[in-house]
């Protein structure tokens, strides 16, 4: 069981991710934008962060860049959940410090497979 | 097959998409008016983007395909490749409407793509440079099968790889899942311990995978570290063998039967989104209530004199908490009127464009909260008033200039609290009502015989009569067979009133007064014989003791009494409801002066008991509709009291007068 933070401004996507991961026995917290994610990460100690890219208040890429400056999150896997299949966005995410990505649309099985890949 | 049923997220997706579309529309309207905030463009982009992502995830492919193209268009704007021109705004506004329709079709299990949506999609695609109408990824032709025995991989991460959260050991385990793996580590670049940075990567590996896995599977393990490492992946090819060129047909997925969901389950069961702080307040209050209850329960076995003070204190506390709990529960049903106002910027823009008029919409008090039921029903009357104001109220620019006004008319929509009511005003600075035209029309329609001696107020009120319309030519905007009488009736059904104030040449103001909630009313309790009636406080002007010498009998058995220089009918409640009143002479009882539909009458009752809040129970749901009664409530002693429907009583009186 891992402690996972799901970050997405879309409540339906967030609940889908959280529901699926909880079903697999993980402990999931939710945040609806990058700033809320940073706040949550300051309180909890996550093993994995799943973050959407396009969000109001603070986007996912800025959030990754910020969180990588914190000593306890330097090596924690962070996956970007994104519909942007174009390479620039992936590269931008990687440059900010993301571990990998999961391209939307994904189904619960794909989500679990990818999560297991990084938690493996 | 996934164990997770995605249908459980559909409703949340639908609701957030509608919110997104609303935000998109508002941003587009602001952009249309020349706002240059880049965040507005982001809002529009994000809405299209989120809906596309969600639609694709939850299986609404038609919606996803449509929003994909809209998103591409917005991406061009966002990245500065395309200016935000009027044509783009126009197309995106229509796209928002279409997506809204497509979503509601999807939610009822119907196919979302319609001829209309396809036509608009084609228009969008034509605008977006180089995007095919159907963004269907062509299935890649299957590469001829190679007889691969295994893979040789050379992998040397750059020193920063670990900082991205990627871990070579994890990747090797992934490779191992494909087949037997041999790993050789190259530690030649490892520095002396003193120079070593624990977070840097110094090692390189050569790996040998003994399995004929697909190249995509092997390279897929490294896709996240592409560019962060030196990587070569070389297949070990077996001696060529004759390969049958048979290409297996892709398995065709059986068409799943489309389940048509019960539309009512989706649209009728409405929900309210409640802020977490409101819930917290509720929980706190319930906690307080429990404490008070346990404090009071110690008096179960009786109270002695020394405990009286404590009992009194407990009861006072109970009263306070009950009141707070009530307010708190009611506030859950309250929503800001902006949820209704939000549709007007678009409506006003479209109408003004269609009529070639110039209109500025001035909205105020959008945060004013109203009961959800009231909100849902006030939308249509407001739309009607706004349409009327633009269609009939505001003049064409040249006419305005000729009248010495600016060419742009102002339409003000304002909501505010007044006493225990909410007031919504729709005001225009147009021509005002034309008294002569109204009188002429009313005479033609047989509503009145002559306009002579009528006050301006009374003339204005004529437009609320059934079958009244002053538009010389019925336009397709306001002439929809629905008159102002319907507006008035809708507002009255909500327990509200509509008043009109017009000044010729400078504009018309409609004032709608609504109760805060339909569930609880403030009322005056009055006794009529053995019965108790509740008269809603909002309708009461005042209560007076009438002297017999101010009462006149009129032909037909009615009575009038003089109240502030006006004569008004006395309605004896015991007569109307057929119960035995104890007091018959006017000076024995009391007259409550009430107003409904702009008409005042005096309700004669035995005596006033007091003022109280009444939780309204529907009479229709439990018995049947009764004229003159709007509902019932339970009194403190457990008996039932009926709530007087002032509007109904006024109408009854009018009919009686006419008879």
Shortest CA distance from B7: residue in chain A: A16
Residues 6 or more apart in contact with residue B323 via CB below 8 angstroms:
none
The confidence score (pLDDT) of residue B420 equals 67
Query: Is the model's pLDDT at B485 over the cut of 90?
Result: no
Question: CB-based burial of residue B194 (10 Å sphere; 0-12 exposed, 13-18 middle, 19+ buried)?
Answer: exposed
Q: What is the ipTM of this complex?
A: 0.86
pLDDT digits (tens, 9 = 90+) for B319-364: 888 888 888 887 888 888 988 998 899 889 988 988 999 999 999 9
In terms of pLDDT, which residue wins out, B485 or A3? Answer: A3
Report d(CA B223, CA B164) in Å as an integer.
Answer: 13
CB distance B464 to B488 below 8 Å: yes
**What does the pLDDT average to over B20-26?**
91
* Spatial distance between the Cα atoms of B103 and B595, rounded to a whole number of angstroms: 45
The average pLDDT across B77-100 equals 87
A108 with B64: Cβ contact below 8 A? no
Residues in B closer than 8 angstroms to A107, CB to CB, are 2, 6, 57
- Residue A113, min C-alpha distance to chain B (Å): 11
Count Cβ neighbours within 10 Å for each residue of B220-256 and write b for 16 or more, e otherwise: ebbebbeebbeeebebeeeeeeeeeeeeeeeeeeeee
For all residues of chain B together, what is the average pLDDT?
Answer: 82
Q: Of B64, B23, B17, which Cα lies nearest the Cα of A11?
A: B17
pLDDT digits (tens, 9 = 90+) for B569-622: 999 888 888 887 667 777 888 999 998 777 889 999 999 999 988 888 878 777
Which of A79, A105, A112, A119 is the best residue to mutate to test the B interface, defined by the most B CB atoms within 10 Å of its own CB?
A105
pLDDT digits (tens, 9 = 90+) for A54-107: 898 999 999 999 999 998 888 899 999 887 666 777 888 888 889 988 888 888
Whether residue A106 and residue B2 make contact (CB cut-off 8 A), yes or no, is: no
∠ Cα B160 B165 B167 (to 5°): 85
pLDDT of residue A20: 92
Q: For residue B531, how many C-alpha atoms fall within 13 Å in the half-sphere facing its CB?
A: 20
Residue A61 pLDDT: 92
Of A13, A91, A97, the CB nearest to B163: A97
The C-alpha atoms of residue A67 and residue A79 are separated, in whole angstroms, by 13
What count of Cα atoms within 13 Å lies in the side-chain half-sphere of residue A42?
9
The domain spanning residue A55 has which CATH number?
Answer: 3.40.50.2300
Sheet with B590-596, side-by-side order of all strands:
B540-544, B590-596, B599-605, B566-572, B559-563, B551-553
Nearest-angstrom CA–CA distance, B492 and B471? 25
Nearest CA in chain A to B59: A105
pLDDT category at B239 given cuts 50, 70, 90 is low
Domain of residue A81 covers: 3-119
pLDDT at B493: 79
Chain A residue numbers touching B56 (CB-CB < 8 A): 83, 104-105
User: Which pLDDT tens digit goes with each residue over B186-236?
Assistant: 888 888 888 888 778 888 888 888 887 888 888 888 888 887 888 888 888
pLDDT of residue B364: 93
The count of structural domains within chain A is 1
CB pair distance less than 8 Å for B164 and A120: no
Per CB-CB distance under 8 Å, the chain A contacts of B8 are: 19
């Amino acid at each position: 069981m891992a402690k996972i933070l799901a970050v997405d401004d879309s409540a339906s996507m967030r609940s889908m991710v959280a529901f699926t991961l909880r079903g697999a026995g993980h402990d999931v917290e939710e945040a609806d934008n990058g700033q809320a994610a940073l706040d949550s990460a300051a309180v909890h100690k996550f093993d994995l962060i799943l973050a959407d890219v396009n969000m109001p208040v603070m986007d996912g890429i800025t959030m990754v860049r910020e969180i990588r400056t914190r000593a306890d999150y330097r090596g924690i896997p962070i996956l970007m959940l994104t519909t942007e299949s174009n390479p620039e966005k992936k590269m931008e995410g990687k440059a900010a410090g993301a571990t990998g990505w999961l391209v939307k649309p994904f189904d619960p099985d794909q989500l679990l497979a990818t999560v297991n890949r990084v938690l493996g | 097959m996934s164990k997770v049923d995605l249908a459980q997220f559909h409703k949340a997706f639908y609701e957030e998409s509608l919110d997104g579309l609303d935000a998109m529309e508002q941003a587009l309207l602001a952009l249309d008016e020349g706002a240059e905030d880049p965040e507005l463009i982001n809002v529009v982009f994000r809405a299209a983007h989120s809906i596309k992502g969600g639609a694709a995830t939850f299986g609404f492919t038609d919606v996803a395909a449509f929003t994909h193209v809209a998103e591409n268009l917005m991406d061009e704007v966002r990245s500065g490749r395309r200016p935000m021109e009027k044509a783009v705004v126009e197309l995106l506004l229509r796209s928002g409407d279409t997506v809204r329709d497509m979503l509601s079709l999807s939610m009822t299990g119907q196919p979302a793509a319609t001829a209309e949506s396809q036509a608009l999609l084609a228009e969008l695609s034509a605008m977006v440079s180089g995007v095919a109408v159907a963004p269907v990824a062509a299935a890649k032709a299957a590469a001829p099968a190679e007889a691969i025995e295994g893979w040789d991989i050379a992998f040397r991460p750059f020193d920063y790889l670990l900082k991205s959260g990627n871990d070579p050991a994890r990747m090797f385990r992934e490779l191992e899942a494909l087949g037997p793996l041999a790993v050789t580590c190259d530690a030649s670049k490892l520095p002396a311990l003193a120079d070593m940075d624990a977070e840097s990567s110094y090692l390189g590996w050569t790996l040998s995978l003994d399995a004929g896995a697909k190249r995509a599977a092997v390279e897929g393990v490294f896709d996240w570290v592409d560019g962060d490492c030196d990587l070569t992946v070389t297949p070990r090819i077996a001696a060529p063998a004759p390969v049958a060129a048979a290409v297996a047909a892709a398995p065709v997925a059986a068409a799943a039967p489309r389940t048509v969901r019960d539309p009512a389950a989706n649209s009728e069961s409405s929900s309210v989104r409640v802020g977490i702080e409101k819930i917290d307040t509720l929980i706190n209050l319930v906690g307080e209530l429990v404490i008070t209850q346990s404090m009071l329960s110690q008096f179960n076995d009786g109270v002695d004199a020394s405990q009286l003070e404590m009992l009194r204190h407990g009861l006072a506390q109970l009263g306070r908490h009950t009141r707070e709990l009530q307010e708190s529960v009611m506030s859950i049903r309250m929503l800001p009127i902006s949820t209704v106002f939000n549709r007007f910027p678009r409506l006003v823009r479209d109408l003004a464009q269609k009529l070639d008029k110039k209109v500025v919409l001035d909205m105020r008090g959008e945060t004013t909260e109203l009961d959800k039921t009231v909100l849902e029903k006030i939308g249509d009357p407001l739309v009607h008033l706004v349409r009327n104001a633009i269609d009939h109220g505001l003049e064409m620019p040249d006419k305005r200039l000729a009248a010495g006004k600016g060419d742009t008319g102002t339409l003000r929509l304002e909501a505010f609290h007044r006493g225990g009511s909410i007031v919504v005003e729709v005001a225009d600075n147009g021509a005002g009502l034309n008294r002569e035209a109204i009188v002429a029309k009313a005479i033609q329609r047989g509503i009145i015989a002559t306009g002579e001696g009528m006050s301006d107020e009374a003339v204005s009120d004529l437009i609320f009569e059934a079958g009244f319309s002053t538009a010389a030519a019925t336009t397709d905007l306001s002439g929809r067979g629905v008159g102002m009488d319907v507006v008035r009736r809708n507002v009255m059904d909500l327990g509200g009133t509509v008043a009109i104030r017009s000044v010729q040449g400078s504009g018309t103001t409609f004032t709608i007064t609504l109760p805060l909630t339909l569930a609880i009313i403030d009322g005056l309790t009055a006794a009529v014989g053995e019965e108790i009636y509740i008269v809603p406080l909002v309708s009461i002007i005042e209560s007076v003791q009438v002297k017999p010498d101010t009462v006149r009998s009129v032909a037909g058995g009615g009575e009038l009494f003089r109240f502030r220089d006006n004569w008004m009918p006395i309605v004896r409640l015991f007569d109307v409801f057929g119960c035995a009143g104890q007091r018959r002479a006017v000076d024995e009882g009391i007259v409550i002066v009430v107003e409904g539909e702009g008409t005042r009458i005096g309700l004669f009752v035995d005596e006033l008991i007091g003022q109280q809040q009444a939780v309204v129970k529907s009479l229709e749901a439990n018995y049947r509709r009764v004229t003159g009664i709007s509902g019932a409530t339970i009194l403190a002693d457990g008996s039932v009291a009926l709530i007087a429907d002032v509007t109904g009583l006024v109408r009854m009186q009018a009919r009686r007068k006419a008879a």
